[in-house]
Structure 1
């Protein structure tokens, strides 16, 4: 296989990123809980999520190499070219909460995003994998059987494929838990975020990115903060649910 793998003459990153956004949005419209939030307000939530994700993905990328970012503060190409999924998720969360405040909506909307996000991220990672070295999402060199040569003669961890497999297992698990109806409104999204952030915190130890924050990189630092937040939130919600049961 020669990377990048063009399909129908289209660069894989552009093709699969476009498919991820299109299919993810269609899945959201089809699977969202129509009784939880009306369509007119749901669209504003999506707008907030999109804008927040766009900003968050860029801002977190700038912290990958703070020194390099400072050196290129006036380089527009450098400032706009990179993005991160973790930054997009956390920025999207802020965007959604901001949009909800603007439209006066107080109920949780996160559960409706779990399936669309998972599908979109899996599709997007296919594009990352097929792009090869140019995408900079591969792992460190390895002699493991899963190692992939992306074109320079060095076998590396295909961390894009690891993420696809993890997301598939995560959505299967969350779908099972959803059928059991064990939690509270918003708990599926909280578990999704917690699971994915833990995965990213661990997988980035085998990514050849700068680790300027002691032994951590920008993704791991943001993931760690997110993990702490969601653990505290889940524990709080569990305590509230127990009180309701015993009230």
Structure 2
């Protein structure tokens, strides 16, 4: 039986895999980005915008997980700096990227270059979440499924971290296949990535024991739902524009 947290050479798994996620994700971006689409100096500014936006977004959405608790701890620095969310990071990173592009005067889409790095980084990071166990608060509710994992308290729970890794693997396989088939639509892969991942988070958080203060939704699901509506609108808008171009 595995002990949680599963320390590696005495180092906490979250620290190891979160560091690897950032390092490997950035290296994948530099290696796979479309070098003809955006020069390296502007690409680095986009990365800076994404990083800052993700840091702010992940924190803001975390504070909305339990609004009452956040208000009660508004002057508790430890509470305010701990915790973050991937969905908040993605949406905040999107805002950060668009802000950076406006600052440097870049108008072309850059999202497709982030699909593989983000997927790889998130998958690596979720390994750290899984190995951390109960302390990470990313596990699911108790289950009788064969996939149930005992994180150390004798209760079998949904290993939602592993579900997410599997989903991202399937999603990136589909998107890379689509990339070879489609052309002429910059940004489509990133839009589909965000749409797919946000839908996954909307559904998977129903089996997470987190507060659901927004009717039947938690903070992640509410943000995911807003993001889904945005990307459905954006993709529909792009399709309409392409049809107009064809018939023009």
Please, what TM-score do these two structures have when normalized by structure 1?
0.99
Query: What does the per-residue CA deviation read over 1:2-54, in whole Å, with 9 as the maximum and x for residues that have no partner?
Result: 10111122110000000000000000000000011000000000000000000
Task: Output aligned runs, 1:136-155, within 5 Å.
Answer: 136-155=137-156
Unaligned runs of 5+ in 2: none
Which residue does the alignment assign to 1:70?
71
Which residue does the alignment assign to 1:173?
174
Which residue does the alignment assign to 1:212?
213
- Give the Cα–Cα distance (whole angstroms) in 2 for the partners of residues 20 and 154 of structure 1: 29
Which residue does the alignment assign to 1:242?
243
Which residue does the alignment assign to 1:163?
164
RMSD: 0.7
Which residue does the alignment assign to 1:9?
10
SS in 2 for 1:240: helix
Query: What does the per-residue CA deviation read over 1:133-163, in whole Å, with 9 as the maximum and x for residues that have no partner?
Result: 0000000000111000000000000000000
Matched, 1:187 2:216: no
Shift of 1:175: 0.3
Shift of 1:182: 4.7
Which residue does the alignment assign to 2:21?
20
Task: Output aligned runs, 1:28-43, within 5 Å.
Answer: 28-43=29-44
Shift of 1:241: 1.3
- Give the Cα–Cα distance (whole angstroms) in 1 for the partners of residues 24 and 180 of structure 2: 24
Unaligned runs of 5+ in 1: none
- Give the Cα–Cα distance (whole angstroms) in 2 for the partners of residues 103 and 226 of structure 1: 25
How many residue pairs align between the two structures?
Answer: 247
> Runs of at least 4 residues of structure 1 off by over 2 A?
none
- Give the Cα–Cα distance (whole angstroms) in 2 for the partners of residues 241 and 198 of structure 1: 25
- Give the Cα–Cα distance (whole angstroms) in 2 for the partners of residues 245 and 137 of structure 1: 47
- Give the Cα–Cα distance (whole angstroms) in 1 for the partners of residues 224 and 4 of structure 2: 30
SS in 2 for 1:23: helix
Query: What does the per-residue CA deviation read over 1:64-102, in whole Å, with 9 as the maximum and x for residues that have no partner?
Result: 000000000000100010100000000000000000000
Matched, 1:123 2:124: yes
- Greater shift in the superposed pair: 177-186 or 32-41: 177-186
Shift of 1:246: 2.4
